[in-house]
Amino acid sequence: MKLIQRIAVFTIAGAMLTGCESSSRQVSLGSILADPTPELRGLHERPVDAYRNLVIVNNAHLRLLSDDLGRTFYTNHPSRLTPYPVMSLTGNPW
């Protein structure tokens, strides 16, 4: 039993004395001073967040453009000249 305890103590002590391996990416004071917040674009957004917001805005702009074209060419409402009753599918009275 003492042999197992000695082996365990030496193994744990050896692991503690080994320490951490140095990283291949060394961090220097110059790199920190050059870009203190490398993951941020602007004050609070990462590049991924900025791209996501851009995609959402572009999607909204394309949908709004489609609505504007419908209003321009008068295709946003059904024709009132038909002899048949036309049901409003949007829920908005016209």
**From first to last of its 94 residues, what are the pLDDT tens digits of the chain?**
788 888 888 788 777 766 666 565 667 788 778 888 888 888 888 889 999 999 999 999 999 998 899 888 888 776 677 777 766 666 665 5
CB-CB contact of 26 with 33 (8 Å) = no
Q: What's residue 30's pLDDT?
A: 83
The pLDDT assigned to 64 comes to 93
Does this model's pTM top 0.85? My answer is: no
Token pair 């996501």: residue: 52
Q: Please, which residues have CB within 8 angstroms of residue 70's CB and are 6 or more apart in sequence?
A: 76
